[in-house]
């Protein structure tokens, strides 16, 4: 018998993967958590029916959500990840020697536990002495921590269920206040093909809060449309002013200094989406 797992990425299109078996299945207080073993992508973490990360392609997402802001910042020491209970962002953050403290605030302890058990290649840095894991609501946490972070990364699920409020303007204001005077914020902001209204709204909201707002993209095979966006809000540093020669010599499989800059070059349809035409101009 062949088992196939299908995620409907929109109501009209899906990705379907041949499955060896289910490794973990739990209904937590917040969501359905499944870890499955797939032939194409290896171990796969699925939350509420949406692929979050897979052993085979996770590096692209985790490298791009971390190294772009951390190399844009001149000297990141304190870094916060909201969501990202799999630990992949923390693993990449701790590749930066300047980082003294990486805090993970994940609402669902079962995501952390499942990742530690079934995705050790991704979660490996969660036990690092520089990493602190807090099982808390990121929205509450951020309200109570002002002016202390150099970089804040919102590594959330889709904007439904537990993550919905992580895509609100009020939350971006709280993030702004939790950052130091030269702080940088990045959030995953879905597919430029399938989630255009969301991208427009988030970009507009972040732009009202941060003086420098930029969108960048990367290909990720297991995410809807295979093409993903990240929105950056920065108080001082511009991501395109990064000195290519100064970019840390990181052990990466997707990211490099040229990719850092190229990821901000947007196709016409994405420029149009962001309306004012001033992106990258």
Residues forming contacts to a copy of itself in the complex (CB under 8 A) are 6, 10-18, 38-41, 57, 60, 193, 217, 219-221, 225-227, 252-256, 258-259, 261-262, 265-269, 271, 280
In the bound state with a copy of itself, the residue whose beta carbon lies nearer, of 1 and 181, is 1
In the bound state with a copy of itself, the residue whose beta carbon lies nearer, of 106 and 158, is 158
Q: Is 65 strand, coil or helix?
A: helix
User: In the complex, what is the shortest distance from the CB of residue 273 to a copy of itself, in angstroms, rounded to a whole number?
Assistant: 11
In the bound state with a copy of itself, the residue whose beta carbon lies nearer, of 26 and 261, is 261
Q: What residues have CB less than 8 Å from 6, skipping those under 6 apart?
A: 14, 15, 16, 17
User: In the complex, what is the shortest distance from the CB of residue 216 to a copy of itself, in angstroms, rounded to a whole number?
Assistant: 11
Q: Is 196 strand, coil or helix?
A: helix
User: In the complex, what is the shortest distance from the CB of residue 147 to a copy of itself, in angstroms, rounded to a whole number?
Assistant: 36
Residue reference for tokens 């941060």: 210
Q: b/e for 188-201, b at 16 or more Cβ within 10 A?
A: bbbbbbbbbebbeb
With the C-alpha atoms ordered 23, 15, 59, 108, is the resulting torsion angle positive or negative?
A: negative
Q: At what angle do helices 169-178 and 196-209 cross, to 10 degrees?
A: 40
CA gap 213, 201 in Å, rounded:
13
User: In the complex, what is the shortest distance from the CB of residue 244 to a copy of itself, in angstroms, rounded to a whole number?
Assistant: 11
User: In the complex, what is the shortest distance from the CB of residue 131 to a copy of itself, in angstroms, rounded to a whole number?
Assistant: 25
Give, in order, the Cα–Cα distances in Å from 215 to each of 98, 109, 129, 134, 147: 25, 30, 33, 29, 24
Would residue 205 show up in a list of annotated catalytic residues for this protein?
no
In the bound state with a copy of itself, the residue whose beta carbon lies nearer, of 172 and 255, is 255
Exactly one of 155, 158, 170, 182 is catalytic; which is it?
A: 155
In the bound state with a copy of itself, the residue whose beta carbon lies nearer, of 85 and 239, is 239
18 in Cβ contact with 3 (< 8 Å): yes
Q: Which residues are designated catalytic?
A: 155
């Amino acid at each position: 018998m062949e088992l196939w797992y299908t995620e409907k990425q929109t109501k009209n299109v899906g990705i379907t993967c041949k499955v060896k078996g289910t490794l973990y299945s739990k209904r937590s207080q917040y969501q359905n958590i499944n870890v499955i073993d797939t032939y194409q992508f290896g171990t796969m973490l699925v939350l509420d029916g949406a692929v979050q990360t897979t052993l085979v392609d996770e590096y692209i997402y985790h490298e791009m959500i971390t190294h772009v802001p951390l190399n844009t910042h001149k000297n990141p020491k304190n870094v916060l990840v909201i969501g990202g209970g799999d630990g992949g962002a923390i693993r990449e953050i701790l590749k930066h020697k300047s980082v003294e403290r990486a805090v993970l605030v994940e609402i669902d302890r079962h995501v952390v536990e499942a990742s530690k058990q079934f995705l050790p290649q991704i979660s490996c840095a969660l036990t690092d002495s520089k990493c602190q894991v807090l099982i808390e609501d990121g929205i509450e946490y951020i309200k109570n921590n002002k002016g202390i972070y150099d970089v804040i990364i919102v590594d959330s699920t889709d904007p439904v269920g537990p993550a919905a409020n992580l895509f609100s303007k009020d939350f971006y204001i709280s993030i702004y206040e939790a950052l130091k005077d030269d702080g940088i914020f990045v959030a995953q902001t879905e597919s430029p093909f399938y989630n255009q209204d969301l991208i427009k709204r988030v970009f507009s909201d972040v732009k009202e809060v941060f003086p420098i707002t930029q969108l960048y993209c990367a290909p990720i095979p297991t995410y809807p449309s295979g093409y993903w966006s990240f929105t950056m809000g920065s108080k001082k540093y511009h991501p395109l002013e990064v000195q290519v020669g100064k970019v840390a010599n990181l052990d990466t499989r997707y990211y490099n200094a040229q990719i850092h800059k190229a990821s901000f070059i947007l196709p016409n349809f994405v420029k149009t989406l962001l309306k004012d035409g001033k992106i990258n101009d």
